[in-house]
Amino acid sequence: MRLKDKVAIITGGAKGIGRETALLFAREGAKVVIGDFDEEAGRKTLEDILALGAEALFCKVDVTDRVSVEEMVKKTKERFGRVDILINNAGITADALLTKMTDQQWDKVIDVNLKGVFLCTRAVAPVMIEQGYGVILNASSVVGVYGNIGQTNYAATKAGVIGMTRSWAKELGRKGIRVNAVAPGFIMTEMTARVPEKILELMKEKTPLGRLGQPRDVAAAYLFLASDEASFINGQVLGVDGGLVI
């Protein structure tokens, strides 16, 4: 087992990529904390993990709220005694062209995708520093590297995540903490289910592998980066996009 007895917090862990990652980590021996605002989906994922015979905890969390985030970390320490891995996976979209994007759309995406990553990492970092060990993995996107029409807010957050990843890798590396990011392409989740079919077909045609990604593709990348096999990888952004950007 590649993550035996490691304690992993996964935000947005109730559905999509987060759920797939939580299940995979549990199979690989991790004790999983599912952090999500969706209580019903979170408890369903918790049940599925417990059915595997793994240890897990569900924490209802609003990643945009400092108190809520700190409570999640506190509960994790009380239950498992440490935090080895943080996956900042929670994210949302609120798409619109620049001239039609509202302040509310901008603020909402910035709060969840950027501030949420900052708050969760700031809350976990002291625990990892005290341990002298930790892995922090952040969800960026190909959109954060190359931009995308109608996603000014989303692109800004995902580019910001890359900047934070590299800054934290420099700050925390000497304290035994690795920080990396993944940049998925088009992955078949509830989020992409709202994308028009013709756009998805276009993305499939542009992808050299000839298909769209599945949540398990990103989960596998998280697993590798969280494992000791990636012990000398720090400050990197791993594309999981089937070659879409080449």
Beta bridge partners of 9: 33, 86
Decide: helix, strand or coil at residue 168: helix
Q: How far apart are CA 137 and CA 179, in angstroms?
A: 6
Burial of 148 (0-12, 13-18, 19+ CB in 10 A): middle
Whole-number Cα distances in Å, 183 to 103, 152, 242: 26, 17, 11
In contact, 18 and 40? CB cutoff 8 Å: no
Query: Quick one: DSSP state of residue 235?
Result: S
Q: How far apart are CA 124 and CA 223, in angstroms?
A: 19
Burial of 244 (0-12, 13-18, 19+ CB in 10 A): buried
Active site residues: 154
What tokens appear for 121 in the block?
A: 């990492």
Rounded to 5°, the CA angle 193-56-81 comes to 130
| Rg of the chain (C-alpha set) | 17
Return the biggest CA–CA distance within the chain: 51
Beta bridge partners of 96: 151
Beta bridge partners of 8: 32, 85
